[in-house]
Structure 1
Amino acid sequence: MPRRTVLSVLACLAGTARALASSEPPLSSLTLVGPPAIVFKAGRDACDGADVPDISARALREPSGAVALFGLHYRNRAMRGPDLDHLKLDCAVVLDSGEAPDPAAYDDRSWIAATWSEDGRRVEALLHHEYQANEHPGRCREASYLACWYNTVVAARSEDGGRSFRRAAPPVVAMAAPFRQEVGQGRHRGFFNPSNIVADGRWRYVFVSTTGWDKPGRQEPGTCLFRTGDPGDAASWRGWTGRGFTAAFPDPYRGAPKPPEACLPLAPFPAGVGAVVRHRATGAFIAVFMAKADPARGLPQSGFYWTTSRDLLAWDTPRLLLAGATLYDDPCAAPGGLIAYPSLLDPQARGRNFDDTGDTALLTYATLRTQGCAVTSDRDLLRRPLAIKVWP
């Protein structure tokens, strides 16, 4: 997804996460215990110019036990191999982006942002969908990307273990702003950047970011937690409101949009959650995210942070995991490049969807080289081993 305006997006979200932040001592310790290793190098391993790390990595196990990993661009391909240690890019496109001018089609540019499978064959996906109205004549009164950027989380499904995905007709919307794309132009709008999906009993959870809106209704910007009992029914996702999981955000292009109940942004997340996993021995949840330095919010340096929770709602004070300029920093001041899209993957995960971890895991992330003040497509996908300790 284009990132030249990500600083402005962060500005929309800054200072909004509220409520449900824990004042307890830290529940866990994460320590990097080895150097980075390259998983994918765009200039060496790409099938074409669309193959660059551009979203947090998501992995699942196929029926054979082999692994598929998603985390590249809007011409979606998978890296495949017998395990996380032996992945190679498969040049077959599993989901392409139609760049359709009709916003109701939800087929402009889509990234596979989250996957879930019970059997490895039928795979449900949540897509980060961008309708970039500035690219479609007559669809936006302004010419800039950010002013015309309209985000929705939509669903896709694979019946062949993630070898190909299809959208339903009409598309099924999981999270949408309660207005159409032409409303409120002038800033980034909608829901975007789902985390991976994590299980807790019969429920499946995902974190999703929003820039919020003033009407219809009022939605504060930040990162909300959504829940469903069936990822195969994407319309069943409901957001936490502070009282329950009751906030629904259906397709405004089908039926008259109504003011929805707002979801409650959760602290301490300044923007999207890169990944959330459950620690097998203790049941605690660990989330990683990237952030710009903001000492007033307990973020002393730019980089990747982690935080821990017992219930996915109240999170402890975030701790710095890896320092470095991120996509939320000014690339003009980052001649060494940026880091972005953190994820946690345990090669020994017991779940098919890599939503659990033991006492070791891999921090998987991208490095993005800069040229002057521009973020380039010269990117690597890296991994670093880390040790995890969670106090019971």
Structure 2
Amino acid sequence: MTRPSRLAALGPVLALGWLLGAGSAPAAPEPPLSALTLVGPPVVMFKATRDACDGDDVPDASARAFREASGAVALFGMHYRNRAFRGPSLDALKLDCAVVLDSGGQADPAAYDDASWITATWTEDGRRVAALVHHEYRANEHPGRCRSAVYLECWYNSVIAATSPDGGRSFSRASPPVVVAGAPFRQEVDQGRHRGFFNPSNIVGDGRWRYFLASTTGWSLPGSDQSAGVCLFRSDNPADPTLWRAWTGTGFTAAFPDPYARSPKRPATCAPIAPFPTPVGAVVRHRASGAWIAVFMAKAGEGFPQSGFYWTTSRDLLAWDQPRLLLAGATLYDDPCRAPGGLIAYPSLLDPDAQGRNFDDTGDRAILTYVTLRTEGCSITSDRDLLRRTLAIKVWP
């Protein structure tokens, strides 16, 4: 995640993403879908310089939406003072200035209340909402917690749980906090690099099961070597966040609980999923074909001829086909000094006519939502727009 312009540094989640490994699962033998094509010009959904409630109001995560019990839509994707867009449909949303989950800036890493983003939601009835929260402990901002002053060298990240009893009007963490995915070690004063799990995708449903993907920087411990990459988690009840388990290569059995509550004797590991070099922006299921579609950012390099947004498809969420470019442009993994036109980030896919309450399915047309970030010299500013573009989806004849 990134900070507003008053804190000009590039957030570590973004700085490290393009360094992650490509994953270990085999590529799908053939693409289930033939094309995703952007149709028409972008439309501004939110302009920070015009529509913000305060100086922390910038789009800073991939968009997540659900339908409330009334049928109205709530959408998240803002900064660590979490607010929601609300309206009768995806086509008519306005930012609600009420803070639904704030960040406490606490110095104790065991509190999991430093900087928090709502990055995934799931609801069965539109009233009780389970959320996955991307939590950053920024040790360099707390005296004595990190030997370095460099943000990236002090970053300790976890995915934690939050719940709302009122349709997303307010969220709270459990006490003590429930860690859905955490590194099997505590934050260290001299850790020297970014650590942990971060940037969960949206949650999707398939029969009785619910899934999300999250990134990890990996680790090397006695008896536990975790590769960096993107891991797939599964549960049959998101309302109980202790039930999430990650794919190990043979089954969904890996748990990553709070290392401050107990230290596992033999830490679990998950099997990274190819071909994702960075966090997954969103996953949706195409209703007609049954294919899963994922979008993500990538920097130009091995396997990616251009920087921009890429898409890939799968039949089972484990084996994905060769990524294809959807929208070219410098992303948050590129050098902002070399992007005078600004950056693009945080892609998501949403179908206004989705049949599911959680917008995890799509027809042959959807919208790509994403953020444009203006740069000044080598700094990323808080002058940002949340955009949408119509997307046409084509299956093989």
Asked whether the two chains share a fold, i.e. TM above 0.5, the reply is yes
Q: Is residue 10 of structure 1 aligned with residue 7 of structure 2?
A: no
2:285 aligned partner: 278
1:363 aligned partner: 368
Matches of 1:11 and 1:158 in 2, distance apart?
33
Residue pair 1:153, 1:174 contacting (<8 A) in 2 also: yes
Residues 318, 26 of structure 1: CA spacing in aligned structure 2 closer, same or farther, 3 A cutoff? farther
Residue pair 2:32, 2:314 contacting (<8 A) in 1 also: no
Residue pair 1:178, 1:258 contacting (<8 A) in 2 also: no
Residue pair 1:147, 1:185 contacting (<8 A) in 2 also: yes
Aligned-pair identity (%): 75
Alignment map for 1:34-113 (pairs within 5 Å): 34-113=40-119
Matches of 2:13 and 2:236 in 1, distance apart?
33
Structure 2 stretches lacking a partner, 5+ long? 3-9
Matches of 2:14 and 2:100 in 1, distance apart?
31
Matches of 1:4 and 1:117 in 2, distance apart?
30
Q: Is residue 376 of structure 1 aligned with residue 367 of structure 2?
A: no
Residues 184, 314 of structure 1: CA spacing in aligned structure 2 closer, same or farther, 3 A cutoff? farther
Deviation at 1:34, TM superposition (A): 1.1
Say what the alpha-carbon RMSD is for the aligned residues: 1.3
CA deviations 1:277-314 (Å, max 9, x no partner) are 001111110000010012x32x1110001000000000
Matches of 1:165 and 1:346 in 2, distance apart?
25
Residue pair 2:18, 2:299 contacting (<8 A) in 1 also: no
Structure 1 stretches lacking a partner, 5+ long? none
Deviation at 1:39, TM superposition (A): 0.3
2:211 aligned partner: 205
Matches of 1:381 and 1:8 in 2, distance apart?
21
Q: Is residue 118 of structure 1 aligned with residue 102 of structure 2?
A: no
Residues 300, 132 of structure 1: CA spacing in aligned structure 2 closer, same or farther, 3 A cutoff? same
Residue pair 1:37, 1:383 contacting (<8 A) in 2 also: yes
Give the match's secondary structure for 1:218. strand
Matches of 1:62 and 1:16 in 2, distance apart?
37
1:386 aligned partner: 391
Deviation at 1:107, TM superposition (A): 0.5
Deviation at 1:25, TM superposition (A): 4.4
2:234 aligned partner: 227
Q: Which amino acid aligns with 1:243?
A: T
Deviation at 1:7, TM superposition (A): 6.2
Q: Is residue 143 of structure 1 aligned with residue 149 of structure 2?
A: yes
TM-score (norm 2): 0.96
Give the match's secondary structure for 1:143. coil
Q: Which amino acid aligns with 1:162?
A: G
Give the match's secondary structure for 1:354. coil
1:326 aligned partner: 331
Alignment map for 1:167-186 (pairs within 5 Å): 167-182=173-188, 185-186=191-192
2:263 aligned partner: 256
Residue pair 2:12, 2:194 contacting (<8 A) in 1 also: no
Q: Name segments (4+ residues, structure 1) moved above 6 Å.
A: none
Deviation at 1:18, TM superposition (A): 2.2
TM-score (norm 1): 0.97
Q: Which amino acid aligns with 1:301?
A: Q
Matches of 2:45 and 2:265 in 1, distance apart?
45
Matches of 1:81 and 1:8 in 2, distance apart?
34
Residue pair 1:26, 1:317 contacting (<8 A) in 2 also: no
